[in-house]
Amino acid sequence: MPKISQRGIDMPSSPIRKLTPLANEAKARGVKVYHLNIGQPDLPTPQKALDALKTVDRKVLEYSPSQGFLSLREKLQRYYRKFRIELSVNDIIVTSGGSEAVLFAFLACLNPGDEIIVPEPAYANYMAFAVSAGAVIKTVTSTIDTGFSLPPVEKFEELITERTKAILICNPNNPTGYLYSRAEMNQIRDLVMKYDLYLFSDEVYREFIYTGSPYISALNLDGIENNVVLVDSVSKRYSECGIRIGALVTRNADVRRAVMKFCQARLSPPLLGQIVAEESIEGTEEYAADIYEEYVERRKYLVDGLNRIDGVYSPIPMGAFYTVAKLPVDDADKFCEWCLSDFSYEGETVMMAPASGFYSTPGMGRDQVRIAYVLKKEDLQRALFILEKALEAYNKK
> Are the beta carbons of 27 and 344 closer than 8 angstroms?
no
- What would the DSSP string read from start to end of 105-163? HHHHH--TT-EEEEEES--THHHHHHHHHT-EEEEEE--GGGTTPPPPHHHHHHH--TT
Whether residue 364 sits in one domain with residue 255: no
pLDDT at 16 over 80: no
Whether residue 190 sits in one domain with residue 320: no
CA distance 45 to 284: 10
pLDDT digits (tens, 9 = 90+) for 167-184: 999 999 999 999 999 999
The pLDDT score that the predictor gives to residue 91 is 98
pLDDT digits (tens, 9 = 90+) for 252-263: 999 999 999 999
Whether residue 192 sits in one domain with residue 121: yes
> Are the beta carbons of 338 and 352 closer than 8 angstroms?
no
End-of-domain residue from the set 221, 253, 281: 281
- Name the helix (H) or strand (E) containing 80: helix 70-81
Find the distance separating the first CA and the last CA of the chain, reported in whole Å.
43
Torsion of CA 224, 226, 231, 232, to 10 degrees: 90
Whether residue 161 sits in one domain with residue 252: yes
pLDDT at 15 over 80: no
pLDDT digits (tens, 9 = 90+) for 194-204: 999 999 999 99
Whether residue 38 sits in one domain with residue 102: no
Whether residue 318 sits in one domain with residue 189: no
pLDDT digits (tens, 9 = 90+) for 266-325: 999 999 999 999 999 999 999 999 999 999 999 999 999 999 999 999 999 999 999 999
The pLDDT score that the predictor gives to residue 163 is 98
Cα angle: 257, vertex 127, 368; to 5 degrees: 145
The pLDDT score that the predictor gives to residue 65 is 98
Tell me if 33 is assigned to some domain: yes
Q: What is the CATH number of the domain that holds 186?
A: 3.40.640.10
CA distance 377 to 374: 9
Mean pLDDT of the chain, nearest integer? 96
Q: 374 lies in which domain range? A: 6-44+286-394
Tell me if 261 is assigned to some domain: yes
pLDDT digits (tens, 9 = 90+) for 352-372: 999 999 999 999 999 999 999
Stretch 240-250: mean pLDDT: 97
Tell me if 49 is assigned to some domain: no
Tell me if 53 is assigned to some domain: no
Whether residue 161 sits in one domain with residue 79: yes
Whether residue 67 sits in one domain with residue 171: yes
Whether residue 129 sits in one domain with residue 89: yes
Predicted confidence band at 38 (pLDDT cuts at 50, 70, 90)? confident
Q: In sequence order, which residues have a C-beta less than 8 Å from that of residue 133 and are 6 or more positions away? A: 103, 106, 107, 110, 112
The pLDDT score that the predictor gives to residue 2 is 93
Tell me if 241 is assigned to some domain: yes
Stretch 381-394: mean pLDDT: 97
Domain count, the chain: 2
pLDDT at 78 over 80: yes
The pLDDT score that the predictor gives to residue 12 is 84
Whether residue 70 sits in one domain with residue 132: yes
End-of-domain residue from the set 281, 298, 324: 281
pTM: 0.95
Whether residue 33 sits in one domain with residue 71: no
> Are the beta carbons of 367 and 333 closer than 8 angstroms?
no
Tell me if 356 is assigned to some domain: yes
Torsion of CA 222, 223, 227, 229, to 10 degrees: 10
Stretch 330-359: mean pLDDT: 96
Q: What is the CATH number of the domain that holds 36?
A: 3.90.1150.10
Q: In sequence order, which residues have a C-beta less than 8 Å from that of residue 259 and are 6 or more positions away? A: 93, 104, 105, 108, 248, 250
> Are the beta carbons of 383 and 350 closer than 8 angstroms?
yes
Whether residue 253 sits in one domain with residue 156: yes
Tell me if 92 is assigned to some domain: yes
End-of-domain residue from the set 262, 281, 300: 281
Tell me if 269 is assigned to some domain: yes
